[in-house]
Structure 1
């Protein structure tokens, strides 16, 4: 009996220790918990009943959202949760019913928060819950607009498609522009319209948008964020010209239909990634474009550059020069997509000749099914300094890869076998090369891989340390330098 009392005394002492924690320590503990678990602390004691309403970081996603307990009293103002996660609920009810139930739970939670709230993240709901999302944004604006430093909202676009496949976008309410202390803003899969009196986010350093927004609005939004350092923009509309004025911007990632881009007012960029969906035939449709040669010339301070999809083709609209007008002295990493049997290799050579300190090169081959291999180097060509004809152009394969030590090649089709000469040229002209890592997709047969590796292993190497490593099928292995 005494032992039992001793055990109860020990448990009571543990509870007392928790109850006597300093207020800032309790808030810190709650901040580390998923909101589901933070709410559950209300059952610990009367003192903990409403501790969760002081949490500063509010995160809602599919893992943390719970189904409301059917045993909870309808008259109660307290939110009660059971142990079944939302995925289980979705299995037994329609998408609309499941999402609506979760939205009502979030309504109750958000309305009871007293803050201060520094972070709000909602990465789960669809257009079906738009009026609920409007209400949360409005509530936060009125009660915590001067506190929120991070706001993240991602709309589930799968549910946003109607039965005809037409997309219904969520229109972000203008009250979000009253979050004056924002440091980080993420708005994904939505429509964004800037109010005429928008004065900017003067503390914002990170902006991630995947949105329908006019060129004027996105340019104004960027320019009204003077401390912006990191920008990722996935555009859902065509842009004739996008001017980026961000004097402190260091990271830029653009994905979409951009015919012309100006970054003259972003002098400290160090990391740039460009993905264009526009075919070259459209680039001359409305006057003379600012070619990629001019664009890349403004990247004199960039250290990492990635050119995906058709951006490299943009460089080839006109005659490709031997070198860029500006030297990319700081460029250490270059990633490019190549459409096989195109003149893009000439564009890569142009960039390489202008990048004397390049250390890492990643190449992704995109197969042109209509290509025949015409214009490629012959098997017997010596690539170590001799001038040869490539795509109808006399090209000097001089050695300018003194610092290149790592190359990564993604093979996406059978025809890559026709274009191994460019990889052979790298082997012949990179005296510091340590590794060439090769990986393929599921469409490349083992026999083709063997032929590629055999040919490369027999190629001349400028570096005695150079290794050719096959990493298997893309996605089955992590590839890193």
Structure 2
């Protein structure tokens, strides 16, 4: 039994242990390591931690990664503001976010550089210019700004202090603004590696043929232009460029790309204006990934064969019937230029053009992965057949069916015992000879949006019946009620009821 004396000694030992000062191992870490740890936290937490000690206040004043995009619901206590020598805002905190950002700059160590500055805000021209100038003085390396101006209805002028910055590596600017003359920008940005510009007003500069050149951007690797209003002609000739992304430049009529190191190019909703003749010239021998979505058919010239092209997403449409023949010829040339591609995704409009017109293009000799978006109406079947014939060594086929409920489609025969061959099955059976190589190599089939219509069931049964190398067929049916479940069970039973060409094939309904 423990004596009173022993209890007192034990309690005294516990109190003595609690009184010992615990070593703060985290605060002993170097600034660079602590900055990296704090980078993983929202800036609100980093600011709040500055009141812990002088050491942590120093870390806050020298913190190089200022991402203010999480300040929407930032609540700043009066005690915290007083500690940092801030004046308590007289206006609601939501409207004083930019005041807080300005005050953060005011307490920074004058000799501490900024690695990253990101913010989204609604502010005046002068305040935006002031913040950018301060960031440039602190040798900012990455500047990401999304701003809407409020002082006038005019557009923001591109900040010229950014042009001559030697420290800037990444610039992302999303705001309605005008570019200065090319003569001003031509010899700047000597250190820039990533440039992203959105909502650029180019009504007085419809042609940018001498801006994105080797002399202006010698180190630029990534270029993203989004919603460039008024841009009609663009030339990109940056020697170090690897990634080019153009989106919603819908007035574009001419594009000239000459980049020896370009690997990825993405054009979305660019050539949509009703122009008599639009054109594209591409000289990119290292191009591996091409995305051409929601664009009109253009005259396309390729100075080098795309032998390295690996993955392509293609979606084009025809604007006018008057020039349809020339546009169809351009479509044929584009498809023929992709004969060595390994992975191909086609949008619905492209398949409709192939179905409505008998286009002859070179087969995709090396194609292994084919993804198609289609309404899978009866009128789309010729286009699908054409693509299957042109893919003699295909390994994986993915169909994404887009359903339009306004268009009537014939449902699969619900009578389990009625084994009459449907019109769709008769059509596919008539194509066996021309699809022989396709059926010998196909291994995986995935159909999304499988709703038991006749065309879908006919194709699935045909591939099972004649796909000699087929290993897996997945039919993604989505959510269904009890009635639909019964129909799917009937379809499964009928598919099992005939012999399959491949003994290794497996069918799954998901």
The two structures have a TM-score, normalised by structure 2, of: 0.66
Alpha-carbon distance in 2 for matches of 1:379, 1:259: 31
1:468 aligns with 2:507: yes
Residue aligning to 2:400:
364
CA shift at 1:463, angstroms? 1.6
Matches within 5 A, 1:327-346: 327-329=364-366, 331-341=367-377, 343-346=379-382
1:421 aligns with 2:438: no
Residue aligning to 1:348:
384
1:170 aligns with 2:175: yes
Equivalent residues of 1:68, 1:105 under 8 A apart: no
Residue aligning to 2:139:
144
SS where residue 305 of structure 1 aligns? strand
Pick the aligned partner of 1:398 from 389, 411, 436. Answer: 436
SS where residue 67 of structure 1 aligns? coil
Pick the aligned partner of 2:227 from 201, 208, 211. Answer: 211
Matches within 5 A, 1:83-98: none
Alpha-carbon distance in 2 for matches of 1:115, 1:433: 62
Q: Radius of gyration: which is bigger?
A: 2
CA shift at 1:336, angstroms? 0.7
Unmatched runs of 5 consecutive residues or more in structure 2: 1-11, 149-173, 203-207, 239-243, 245-256, 412-420
Q: Which moved more, 1:301-310 or 1:207-216?
A: 207-216
Equivalent residues of 1:337, 1:363 under 8 A apart: yes
Alpha-carbon distance in 2 for matches of 1:25, 1:243: 48
Distance of aligned partners of 1:77 and 1:37 in 2 relative to their CA distance in 1, 3 Å threshold: closer
Pick the aligned partner of 2:59 from 32, 48, 51. Answer: 51
Pick the aligned partner of 2:298 from 256, 260, 269. Answer: 260
1:34 aligns with 2:51: no
SS where residue 364 of structure 1 aligns? strand
Q: Which moved more, 1:243-252 or 1:440-449?
A: 440-449
CA shift at 1:440, angstroms? 3.4
Distance of aligned partners of 1:226 and 1:396 in 2 relative to their CA distance in 1, 3 Å threshold: closer
CA shift at 1:459, angstroms? 5.5
Q: Residue deviations 1:77-134, cap 9 Å, x none?
A: 66799xxxxxxxxxxx9xxx77644444444446748764454555xx47x4575666
CA shift at 1:249, angstroms? 3.5
Residue aligning to 2:348:
309
SS where residue 294 of structure 1 aligns? helix
Distance of aligned partners of 1:387 and 1:317 in 2 relative to their CA distance in 1, 3 Å threshold: closer
SS where residue 33 of structure 1 aligns? coil
CA shift at 1:41, angstroms? 3.3
Matches within 5 A, 1:180-259: 180-186=190-196, 190-191=199-200, 193=202, 197-199=211-213, 201-213=217-229, 214-217=231-234, 222=244, 223=257, 227-235=261-269, 238=272, 240-259=278-297
Q: Which moved more, 1:101-110 or 1:405-414?
A: 101-110
Alpha-carbon distance in 2 for matches of 1:380, 1:286: 33
The two structures have a TM-score, normalised by structure 1, of: 0.69
Pick the aligned partner of 1:274 from 314, 320, 329. Answer: 314
SS where residue 47 of structure 1 aligns? helix
Alpha-carbon distance in 2 for matches of 1:103, 1:72: 20
CA shift at 1:258, angstroms? 3.0
Distance of aligned partners of 1:75 and 1:220 in 2 relative to their CA distance in 1, 3 Å threshold: farther
Equivalent residues of 1:36, 1:66 under 8 A apart: no
CA shift at 1:426, angstroms? 2.4
Residue aligning to 1:88:
none
Residue aligning to 1:435:
472
CA shift at 1:439, angstroms? 1.7
SS where residue 391 of structure 2 aligns? coil
Equivalent residues of 2:396, 2:444 under 8 A apart: yes
CA shift at 1:448, angstroms? 5.3
SS where residue 19 of structure 1 aligns? coil
Residue aligning to 1:23:
31
CA shift at 1:30, angstroms? 2.8
Equivalent residues of 1:184, 1:205 under 8 A apart: yes
Pick the aligned partner of 1:288 from 317, 321, 326. Answer: 326
Root mean square deviation of aligned Cα: 4.4
Q: Which moved more, 1:113-122 or 1:31-40?
A: 113-122
CA shift at 1:335, angstroms? 0.8
Residue aligning to 1:478:
none
Alpha-carbon distance in 1 for matches of 2:113, 2:477: 50
Distance of aligned partners of 1:186 and 1:450 in 2 relative to their CA distance in 1, 3 Å threshold: farther
SS where residue 335 of structure 1 aligns? strand
